[in-house]
Amino acid sequence: MTLRKALLAATVLALPVAAQAQPVSGLYIGAGGGLNIHQDSNNNGVRTKFDDIGAVGLASIGWGFGNGLRAELEGSYRTNDIRSITAPGVRGTSGYLRNYGAMVNVLYDFNLGLPVIPYLGVGAGYGWVDVDKANFTGPGGSRYRIEDTDGRFAYQGIAGAAFALPVPGLALTAEYRFYGTLEPSLNVDRTSTFGAPGGNYKPTNYNHSALIGVRYAFNAPVAPPPVVTAPPVAPAPTVARTYLVFFDWDRADLTDRARQIISEAAGAARSVQSTRIEVAGHADRSGTPQYNQRLSQRRADAVAAELVRQGVSRNEIMVTAFGESRPLVPTADGVREPQNRRVEIVLR
């Protein structure tokens, strides 16, 4: 597997769980693991080849300053199989090369308002290179082994992205890291009774790593509860306003007092923007029902005409006549009750 394929796989695995990410603020811890490619070494005619894929793991503790900047301490482990070490007269090599690192990293998160926060970082520290069971045969059949550890200055570059998970403070990370050290100097021991004495093995130490990890920030803000929108309050129903216009016995013409009441009703209709104006005519029981029906109609028409004269649109007025069927004051037939000789104006 190539490094390009490893990075693509790491990105694809991380995408489905992406959510809204936020820059880190305060204390956090992290851990990750993945694939490590140790770059083949060629130093002073000694070529070292490694298997394509090894393993890498790391853990970190750090502090986010809330403005995108982070600082952290990191411990890491990398291992790769040695496929071969070739030099004039050397053959039959195998073994393992391991890297242990203690690093101080500085990183910066780029908050782009996306569901993912990319970041870049650099690190410096100390790394130990350990070669184990590297056996090979030299000229004349002499046998040698490299089993030694050496520490050197270490450095690295980091490029990654964080994807928020549903748990507050928890994020999934996908990273590429380049990790290297200054050339270690490892002892070569002769294991046979003959041959040239051992010497030093100085491989270059460059590593390319693709990692998937998790990070937990302790001071992550808890998402606020969803805002519950209250249903709109229905407007209070408009209270109907009623005006009473009274008439003389057996008359449908308007008195001065009647015109004053109609004027007040017209003004109220304009100010409250009534949607309907009901004008209902009535009569007392002193005449026949047929006559009283016609009389109440004339009274209602007279009031409606005065409302129109006062500026009310005729289309807003609904005129009805009830004759003697709806008395305000119940009476016997033939009684001339003044309060029943009326027109009711109702504003709705």
pTM over 0.75? The answer is no
User: What pLDDT is stored for residue 106 in this prediction?
Assistant: 98
pLDDT of residue 127 exceeding 90, the answer is: yes
pLDDT of residue 21 exceeding 80, the answer is: no
For residue 229, the surrounding DSSP H or E stretch is: none
Domains of the chain: 3-217 (2.40.160.20), 241-347 (3.30.1330.60)
pLDDT tens digits, one per residue of 87-118: 766 766 778 899 999 999 999 999 988 889 99
Closest CA to 318 of 273, 262, 277: 277
The 3-state DSSP class for residue 270 equals helix
Question: What is the rounded CA–CA span in Å between residue 45 and residue 186?
Answer: 16
Closest CA to 55 of 80, 75, 91: 80
pLDDT tens digits, one per residue of 29-62: 999 999 999 999 887 777 888 887 999 999 999 9
